[in-house]
Structure 1
Amino acid sequence: MNQDSRRRVLIVDDYVSGAEALAEACSEHYDVRFVGGGSAAMEVTLAWEPSVVVLDIDMPAPNGLDVARMIRDMSHLDGMVLIAVTGRGAAFDRDEALAHGFDSYLTKPVDVNRLLALIADALG
């Protein structure tokens, strides 16, 4: 990951209004982009190399679990922090997300202060 990407945050959600709202909340502190699906997430991740990806799990293919797995399979993206955002709340779903390579798991509606704290912790 290059030095310029330290404060880059990518928000991914097929519910575009939700992605926009999270991006707006984060933009005061970080360089933020948002996209509306898994394919676009991979394109932007590869081209822009954000340090944090906030990724909805429940999207049309490729879903968030697929995208997380693809990112984790690319050695040049080591160190990228993945935060799952989803309407799922069961412990099994959380464990499944973490097993797919997510570092953190948030349920919707997202507590923006908690999200900002996770991002700040990730960026040190």
Structure 2
Amino acid sequence: MRYPISTRLLLADDDPNILTAYVLFFASHGYDIRTAGDGAGALEEYRAWLPAVVVLDIQMPSMDGWAVAREIRHQQSDPFPVLVAISALSSPSEQAESIKSGFDHHFVKPADLRVVLAAIAHHSHTP
């Protein structure tokens, strides 16, 4: 299944191996990708590029994914980006904190990226 070509997707994770795997997967589905290795870098890249989709780890240096999501939701963007957490945090309270922080979805590592892709497509703002 192919998804809209040139949809901007920002990926942020402090594990370079996971980040590489995500890039390979999402690029193969036509996404235009930029990456960040920490929360502050993710927020900086978001502000400079305004991607339609942002996939964040929660536990990252400099700024956690929850703080990044809250900052993104406070931006005056139209349309708002789809925010997806992919994290090792798995308790119901941690997942609830993700939704409270502004994420549309919280997936637990190791996430099935096909399911993540389907969730993103469901929220896609592109025709």
CA contact (8 A) 2:58 2:64 kept: yes
* Residue identity opposite 1:47 in structure 2: A
CA contact (8 A) 1:9 1:51 kept: yes
CA contact (8 A) 1:16 1:35 kept: no
CA contact (8 A) 2:73 2:80 kept: no
CA distance in 1, matches of 2:98, 2:49: 24
Q: TM-score, normalised by structure 2?
A: 0.88
* Residue identity opposite 1:16 in structure 2: P
| Residue in structure 1 matched with residue 91 of structure 2 by the alignment | 90
* Residue identity opposite 2:24 in structure 1: E
Which structure has the highest helix share of the two? 1
CA contact (8 A) 1:85 1:106 kept: yes
Percent of matched pairs sharing the same residue: 37
* Residue identity opposite 1:106 in structure 2: F
Query: What is the CA deviation profile of residues 31-76 of structure 1, one whole-angstrom value per residue up to 9, with x for unaligned ones?
Result: 1122101111111101111100000001122110110111111112
Equivalent residue pairs, number:
119
**Residue 97 of structure 2 corresponds to residue 102 of structure 1:** no
CA distance in 2, matches of 1:112, 1:12: 15
Q: TM-score, normalised by structure 1?
A: 0.90
CA distance in 1, matches of 2:8, 2:63: 22
* Cα-Cα RMSD: 1.4
More moved, 85-94 vs 73-82: 73-82
CA contact (8 A) 1:50 1:80 kept: yes
Gaps of 5+ in 1: 1-5
* Runs ≥4 residues deviating over 4 A: none
| Residue in structure 1 matched with residue 18 of structure 2 by the alignment | 18
- The DSSP-based 3-state class of the residue aligned with 2:77 is helix
**Residue 16 of structure 2 corresponds to residue 8 of structure 1:** no
CA distance in 2, matches of 1:77, 1:96: 24
